[in-house]
A and B are shown apart, each in its own frame.
Chain A
């Protein structure tokens, strides 16, 4: 019940909307549920609405941790 993708903000427009991009597909996304969205942010978008910002620091930390796993 959770089909959502991480989209990169290209430009914040007025009226609670941003142009966001996912693999060279672009879409207008509603950002009313988030504060302080700016170009370059990654947002999790479900049904055309951004429900949270992705934290790149956390993503990198997790990937590093996974990189240290033994075979």
Chain B
């Protein structure tokens, strides 16, 4: 069973490599990969597709900066944050605003698995953990 999962993971990685163009996931490439998988059903197709979906989602998350905010944010702020993240990661990052009243005030930017905290809720949580 572990061997099948390993084989499926390796195949999904190969398919993912085919889906990335210039460091960016291409929708066309993803469509082509899915058509191929549909036509040539590999062994353990569900495992393969789940692994492929996880890899694609992770890559897409790297290109998106989710900006959680409490209060108003304008497009200039979002653009500035997107530019800063793009320069930081060396690729194009798009900023997306998401309201979150739990922050009380300030911003929390999440890019993939990285989180950049600058909110009152985060500071209060850090204070609580330090006590």
Please determine whether chains A and B interact with each other in the same assembly.
Answer: no
